[in-house]
Structure 1
Amino acid sequence: MKWFQTVALGLSILVTTGCASTSNQQWLYPPMAVPLQASMQQEVQIARLSQLLTRPDLSDELRAKMLFERGNYYDSVGLRDLARLDYSQSLQLNPSQSDLFNALGVYYTQVGEFDAAYEAFDSTLDLNPDNSFAVRNRAIALYYGDRIDLAIEDIDSHLADDPSDPFRALWAYLIKLEKDPLTARQDLLSMYQQRDNQWGWVLVAISLGEVSDEQAFKAIIAGTRDNTVLAQRLTEAYFYLGKRYQHEGNLVSAISMYKLAISFNVYEYVEHRYSFLELKRIFTQIKADQIAKAKLDAPTQP
């Protein structure tokens, strides 16, 4: 989910099916959407801004704004290193841009530069203490940086501001799984039972296993005929399904889900971004396990 967007979807399909068995439903082919491509508007805007930025008569304030805007367009088509360069140049001209620090923090989280991410989110909140998305993003960065206690403090504060937000509830659950899985599940289940019709509660149902995978994907596919929306929802669904599989120890299925989440090119969504990070963490874990096993299996010297 891009942290500025909420999509509503009726949960009638899930409600009418009731609480399904938690056993996984297998499908012959996974539900898919056509991967998103850069639009003509995005390409034209990048070209237009690039041309305008060559003008020598731009004020620093205007140049900083245009660099930030072009960086956002670069980011939306997956050119994240170019986006980071534009963000950095924009900050040099105008360091008082809270949203830009937030964007940089997400970038640093994705590439595993957690100290830089913390500093970026701290700068966002120094400039704009009311930026709740920066609090959530910092909590996620702390979670991936294995600073779970601090992550819980941030995500609890974020959730308290709006307990009806399924994405706040879901990330609170994922973070607290690291400390107390039973309580984390009970808390999320309690919020799920009081749900409204926001789309994100489908993702909560997937994470809890309250509906089968088959029922969840039927609800997603029935909810829209727009390919862009379908790609966005499948990106989210595969990411959180991957998190569930990973927590269950089913790394093979988790890897498949993260790769599917990446496949739709929904570059702006954190679920697309953090799928790369999750894959890296899994491969690092597998490599460490293999090295440890090799040491145990190695013959001892006489």
Structure 2
Amino acid sequence: MVLIANRLKLACLAAVMMLTGCATSTKTMWTHPPMAIPLQPTIQQQIQLARIDQLMKRDDLDNDTLAQMFYERGLLNDSLGLRDLARLDFNQSLSMRPNQPDVFNILGVYFTQGAHFDAAYEAFDSTLELNFQHPFAQRNRGIALYYGGRLDLAHEDLIVHYQQNVNDPYRVIWLYLVDVERTPEQALDKLRLRYDASDKQDWGWLIVRMYLGDISESDYLKEIASGSESNDQLAERLTEGYFYLAKRYQHEENYSAALMLYKLTLAGNVYEFVEHRFALLETGRVLSQYQAQQQAALQAQTNK
């Protein structure tokens, strides 16, 4: 009953935010925001899943082979948005072969999504102990530390990750998101320096230009829509584009706009992108921040 009550409370709060946002903010009045057809399970994914299920019924498979198959089925379930089933497969794989850095990494991401930050740190530590050159674990640990409020440690991880490839816009973006909360007075200057030092080749630099104010929000969304060559690419770019735009509105304390943009982030069903993975986590954070803002305003009014 408590869980149901909490969900109803959040739903009502979200509805109030959307209504008040529409009434008070001209910046959120997008009549027709760019949208892609939500991604659907492909025939290839479904066939591969059926094949793995069939193969796993054999009784002549050793533990190493089974561990690999559980891992591969977990990846498929994850790509289809079936994260509880994926987590079961990853845990089963790990129980059979415990020295798998990739499994610890994806479980760390799951822990971060669920706001179980201590477990996430341990999972990423395990990944790096098994493979200190893992391409994603340090970034993912930095993101987990960011969400866990440990900004200095997050910066340490993310600055090392950035220095490994200064031409990757997403490394620059996550550093900026940490800087905005850690050293807000310097964040834009640092972002500008990193942008100027890059080759500016990846499309993701458009997001950086939006943060810098070099491109308007309207042109930002138009470029995403016009520059995408297929529906799949449009869905992927909008997942990223809406997420990072939502982060800007959230920082500006425009919570109704941020909430709407996180919903748009989820709309494309691009389950494997970190932006989709963390949009639900951010939605909960937005609702909490809005509630705290309203309570502070009420308290201030009471004290007058």
Q: Same fold (TM over 0.5)?
A: yes
Residues 209 and 68 (structure 1), Cα distance of their counterparts in 2 relative to 1, 3 Å cut: same
Which of 65, 69, 80 is equivalent to 1:66?
69
Local SS of the residue matching 1:177: helix
1:204-215 alignment, distance < 5 Å? 204-215=208-219
Identity of counterpart residues, as a percentage? 50
- In the alignment, residue 96 of structure 1 is paired with which amino acid? N
1:31-69: CA deviation from partner (whole Å, max 9, x where unpaired): 111011111111121121112112221110000000000
Q: Distance in 2 between matches of 1:268 and 1:35?
A: 13
Q: Residue 114 of structure 2 corresponds to which residue in structure 1?
A: 111
Judge conservation of contact 1:110–1:273 (CA < 8 Å) in 2: yes
Deviations, residues 121-167 of structure 1 (Å, cap 9, x unaligned): 00110000011311000000000011111101111111111122111
Counterpart CA distance in 1 for 2:301 and 2:253 is: 23
**What's 2:133 paired with?**
130
Please tell me whether the aligned partners of residues 166 and 198 of structure 1 are also in contact (alpha carbons under 8 angstroms).
Answer: yes
- In the other structure, the counterpart of 1:149 is 152
Once the two structures are superposed, residues 262-289 of structure 1 have per-residue CA deviations (whole angstroms, 9 ceiling, x without a partner) of 0110000010111101101111222334
Q: Secondary structure at the match of 2:38?
A: coil
Which residue matches 2:45? 42
Of the three residues 227, 230, 237, the one matched with 1:233 is: 237
Q: Which residue type is aligned with residue 45 of structure 2?
A: Q
* 2:271 maps to which of 267, 274, 282: 267
Aligned partner of 1:220 in structure 2 is 224
Match of 1:180 in 2: 183
Flag the structure with higher helix content.
Answer: 2
TM-superposition CA deviations, 1:238-260 (whole Å, max 9, x none): 00000011111111111111100
- Paired letter, 1:245: Y
3-state SS of the aligned residue for 2:119? helix
Any residues of structure 2 matched to 1:151-166 within 5 Å, and which?
A: 151-166=154-169
For residues 26 and 295 of structure 1, the distance between their equivalents in structure 2, rounded to whole angstroms, comes to: 30
Aligned to 1:97: 100
| Other structure's SS at 2:136 match | helix
Report the Cα distance in structure 2 between the residues aligned to 1:134 and 1:247, rounded to whole angstroms.
26
Q: Tell me: higher relative CO, structure 1 or 2? Use CA pairs within 8 A at least 6 residues apart.
A: 1
Q: CA deviation at 1:26?
A: 5.4
Equivalents in 2 of 1:206, 1:297: separation in Å? 36
* Alpha-carbon contact 2:249-2:257 (below 8 Å) kept: yes
Distance 1:157 1:127 in 2: 18
After superposing the two structures, state which structure 1 stretch, 197-206 or 56-65, moved more.
Answer: 197-206
User: How do 1:236-255 and structure 2 match up within 5 A?
Assistant: 236-255=240-259
1:284 maps to which of 275, 285, 288:
288
Out of 81, 86, 91, which is 1:88 matched to? 91
- Tell which deviates more after alignment, 216-225 or 108-117: 216-225
TM-score scaled by length of structure 1: 0.87
Alpha-carbon shift at residue 296 of structure 1 (Å): 6.4
CA contact (8 A) 1:25 1:214 kept: no
CA contact (8 A) 1:109 1:117 kept: yes
Moved more, 45-54 or 275-284: 45-54
CA distance in 2, matches of 1:183, 1:174: 12
Distance across 2 between alignment mates of 1:290 and 1:219: 36
Which deviates the most, 211-220 or 58-67?
211-220
Gaps of 5+ in 1: 1-22
